[in-house]
């Protein structure tokens, strides 16, 4: 791999992919939105091109002369009263990038999916790359858009384009510039959220380890294959306790019955819609997370050689980053 395009390369995960590539001596081109901040790439030698994945011309220009394309550009939100833009970017944008890569004869593409593009395991189980999607009862726009865009990417693979798919867990760590819903979990926990929890849980991964898994997928992965990049399966309580521990504090948490929490979340969402603000927790994100979504990373470890750092390191670095940006006071 000598030259690579990273769409979404100014973002949280995308910029970490860029840095992993630069560390290998790869020439990197980044496709960024016209007015997108480049803070995450400051001091790094990259070719920056401005454009939009919704533009055929932008995609064709971006993929030209590249031997690898990392398509990480997406809209990641837990709250989307009107999800039109999310579906357009996550679906049409994926088609545009992959079709441009196919027409240009790009040798390989690594597509960033998500664990929410896969199915959740039965209660008490562990899911993997082959667990069938089942969250059809929830109108969770991010999950559905990533499921359909993963299917689209795999359709390109079935028709002969070399596409490898990486499905990260909930990505945490430094560089979460937006911040994403993942980073907001940390900020909210440390910024006065009530010490309560409900059943549920998810798989978490350091952004730098997720980025490394993408590069390893390009180097060692197989066409048409999925690779889960998720390191830590934690209940909601375990995550909040880990965040507290990394911040050097301790709190006593109280479990709230799911039914009670559901009514509170619905009230928050109703108020948010009325006021035009974002709720602390959206109803569909709550419903999706109330069922544990634990995943195995064995395939990425076995076939790619992926390795995952301790959660405390991830959280410590993320907290330091948010404090440095003034998003967190001393907790």
For the chain, helix (H) and strand (E) counts, in that order, are 12, 12
Q: Which domain holds residue 22?
A: 3-172+205-231+295-309
Answer whether residue 301 is part of any domain: yes
* pLDDT tens-digit readout, 58-108: 999 999 999 999 999 999 988 888 999 999 999 999 999 999 999 999 999
Answer whether residue 264 is part of any domain: no
Calpha distance 119→293 (Å, rounded): 8
Answer whether residue 279 is part of any domain: no
Domain count, the chain: 1
- CATH number of the domain that 302 lies in? 3.40.50.720
CB neighbourhood size of 296 (10 A): 18
* pLDDT tens-digit readout, 161-183: 999 999 999 999 999 998 998 99
Three-state secondary structure of 270-290? HHHHHHCCCCCCCHHHHHHHC
> Which tokens belong to 281?
């927790």
Answer whether residue 261 is part of any domain: no
* pLDDT tens-digit readout, 200-257: 999 999 999 999 999 999 999 999 999 999 999 999 999 999 999 999 999 999 999 9
Going by C-alpha positions, the residue among 21, 297, 316, 305 that lies closest to residue 168 is 297
Answer whether residue 269 is part of any domain: no
Answer whether residue 72 is part of any domain: yes
């Amino acid at each position: 791999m000598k030259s690579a395009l990273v769409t979404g390369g100014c973002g949280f995960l995308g910029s970490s992919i860029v840095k992993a590539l630069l560390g290998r001596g790869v020439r990197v081109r980044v496709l960024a939105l016209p007015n997108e901040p480049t803070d995450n790439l400051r001091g790094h030698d990259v070719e920056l091109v401005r454009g939009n994945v919704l533009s055929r011309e932008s995609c064709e220009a971006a993929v030209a002369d590249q031997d690898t394309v990392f398509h990480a550009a997406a809209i990641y939100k837990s709250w989307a009263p009107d999800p039109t833009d999310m579906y357009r970017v996550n679906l049409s944008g994926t088609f545009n990038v992959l079709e441009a890569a196919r027409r240009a004869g790009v040798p390989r593409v690594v597509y960033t999916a998500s664990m929410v593009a896969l199915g959740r395991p039965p209660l008490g189980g562990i899911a993997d790359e082959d667990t069938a999607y089942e969250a059809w009862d929830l109108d969770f726009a991010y999950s559905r858009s990533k499921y359909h865009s993963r299917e689209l990417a795999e359709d390109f693979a079935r028709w002969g384009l070399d596409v490898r798919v990486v499905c990260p867990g909930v990505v945490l760590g430094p560089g979460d510039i937006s911040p994403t819903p993942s980073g907001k979990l940390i900020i909210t926990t440390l910024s006065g959220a009530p010490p309560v929890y409900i059943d549920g849980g998810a798989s978490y991964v350091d952004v730098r380890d997720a980025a490394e898994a993408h590069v390893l997928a390009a180097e060692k992965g197989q066409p048409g294959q999925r690779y889960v990049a998720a390191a830590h399966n934690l209940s909601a309580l375990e995550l909040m306790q880990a965040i507290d521990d990394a911040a050097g504090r301790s709190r006593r948490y109280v479990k709230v019955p799911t039914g009670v929490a559901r009514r509170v979340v619905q009230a928050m969402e109703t108020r948010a819609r009325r006021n035009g603000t974002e709720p602390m927790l959206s109803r569909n994100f709550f419903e999706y997370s109330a069922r544990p979504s634990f995943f195995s990373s064995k395939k990425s470890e076995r076939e790619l050689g992926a390795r995952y750092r301790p959660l405390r390191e991830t959280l410590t670095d993320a907290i330091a980053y948010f404090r440095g940006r003034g998003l967190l006071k001393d907790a």
